[in-house]
A and B are shown apart, each in its own frame.
Chain A
Amino acid sequence: MNPSPETIAVAAILFVVLAAYALFGGADFGGGIWDLVAGGPERGADARELIDESITPVWEANHVWLVFILVLLWTAFSVAFAAIMTALFVPLSLSLLGIVLRGAGFAFRHTAQRLRVRQFTGATFAASSLITPFFMGTVVGAVATGQVPVHPGGNVLAAWTSPTAILTGFLFVAACAYVSAVFLVLEARQRGRHALMRYFALRATAAGAVTGGLAGGTFFELSRSAPYVYHRLTGISLPLVAISIAAGIAVLAMLWLRWYHPLILRATAAVAVVTVVWGWGLAQYPYLFPTSLTLKAGSAPVDTLDAEFIVAGLAVVLVVPGFALLYYLQQRGLLTEAESDADLRLAADLRGAGGGAGAGPDRPGAVEREPVGARIGVAAVLVTLAVRAIRNVFAPGSRRG
Chain B
Amino acid sequence: MTHVLAVSATSPVPARSQMGSSLGFHIILACFGVAFPAVIMTAEWIGIKRADPVAMLLARRWSKVMAVLVAVGAVSGTVLSYEMGLLWPGLMGRYGAAIGLPFSLEGIFFFLEAIFVGVYLYGWKRLSPWAHWWTGMPIVVSGILGAISVVAANSWMNSPAGYTLTNGTISSVDPVSVFFNPSTPYEATHMVLAAYMVTGFLVAGVYAVGLLRGRRDRYHRLGFGVPFAIAGIAAPLQVMMGDVLARFVAHNQPVKFAAMEYVSNTTSDAAEWLGGILINGHVYFGASIPAFDSILVGFNPHTRVIGWDSVPPAQRPPLDTLIHLSFDLMVGIGFFLFALAAWQGWWWWFHRRVLTTAWFLVPAALGGVAAVAAMEAGWVVTEVGRQPWIVYRVLLVNAAVTPSSGVTVTLAVILVLYAILTLVSIGVPMIMSRRWRREGPADEDAEQVPYGPSSAPASALGAGAGASRAEPRAPVGRAEAP
| Chain A interface residues (CB < 8 Å from chain B) | 56-61, 63-64, 66-68, 70-72, 74-76, 78-79, 81-87, 89-90, 92-93, 96-97, 99-104, 106-108, 110-111, 151-155, 300-304, 306-308, 311, 314-315, 318-319, 322-323, 325-326, 329-330, 333-338, 340-342, 393-394, 396-398, 400-401
Contacts and interface: CB of A to CB of B under 8 A. Distances in A.
B295 interface: no
Nearest to A397: B405
Contacts of B122: 56-57, 329, 335-337
A372 B109 CA distance: 40
Given A303-B174, A335-B119, A336-B125, A111 B100 contact: no
B322 interface: no
B2 A60 contact: no
Nearest to B166: A301
Nearest to B162: A303
Contact of A61 (B111, B126, B454): B111
B401 to A, nearest CB: 10
A57 to B, nearest CB: 5
A106 B126 CA distance: 24
Contacts of B454: 335-338
Closest 6 CB pairs of A and B: A75-B100, A82-B93, A397-B405, A78-B96, A103-B75, A85-B85
Given A57-B118, A89-B402, A78 B107 contact: no
Given A60-B451, A111-B432, A335-B118, 17 more contacts: A63-B78, A64-B107, A75-B100, A85-B85, A86-B404, A89-B406, A107-B424, A111-B68, A151-B4, A155-B406, A300-B170, A301-B172, A303-B172, A315-B111, A325-B119, A333-B126, A393-B409
Q: A81, A83, A301 — which one has the most chain B CB atoms within 10 A of its CB?
A: A301
Nearest to B94: A78
B74 A70 contact: no
Interface stretch (B193-201, B301-309, B442-450): B442-450
Q: Which residue among B2, B70, B405 has the maximum number of chain A CB atoms within 10 Å of its CB?
A: B405
B127 interface: yes
A77 B445 CA distance: 48
Nearest to A151: B4
Interface of A is mostly: helix
Nearest to A95: B82
10 contacts: A56-B451, A71-B103, A82-B96, A93-B406, A96-B78, A152-B404, A308-B104, A323-B115, A335-B119, A335-B122
B124 to A, nearest CB: 9
B175 to A, nearest CB: 4
Contacts of A72: 104
B79 interface: yes
Contacts of B404: 86-87, 89, 152, 154-155, 397
Given A75-B104, A85-B402, A322 B96 contact: no
B60 to A, nearest CB: 12
Contacts of B103: 71, 74-75
Interface string B1-36: 111110010000000000000000000000000000
Contacts, number: 281
Nearest to B125: A336
A304 B68 contact: no
Contacts of B117: 60
A259 to B, nearest CB: 30
B4 to A, nearest CB: 4
Interface string B297-326: 000000000000000000000000000000
B101 interface: yes
Contacts of B431: 111
A93 B447 contact: no
B84 interface: yes
Contacts of A315: 107-108, 111
A74 B448 contact: no
Contacts of A86: 5, 89, 402-404
Given A60-B117, A311-B107, A338-B448, A81 B92 contact: yes
B71 A106 contact: yes
B450 A338 contact: no
Interface in B44-96: 68, 70-72, 74-79, 81-82, 84-86, 89-90, 92-96
A330 to B, nearest CB: 8
Given A108-B428, A307-B101, A342 B446 contact: yes
Nearest to A108: B424
A336 B8 contact: no
A107 B68 contact: yes
B209 interface: no
B123 A329 contact: yes
Given A110-B450, A304-B173, A66 B78 contact: yes
B78 A99 contact: yes
Nearest to A101: B417
B452 interface: yes
Nearest to B126: A334
A190 B425 CA distance: 34
A153 B7 CA distance: 10
A326 B115 contact: yes
Interface string B116-139: 111100110111000000000010
A57 B174 CA distance: 38
A337 B447 CA distance: 10
A96 B360 CA distance: 44
A144 to B, nearest CB: 19
Given A151-B4, A303-B175, A400 B115 contact: no
B109 to A, nearest CB: 9
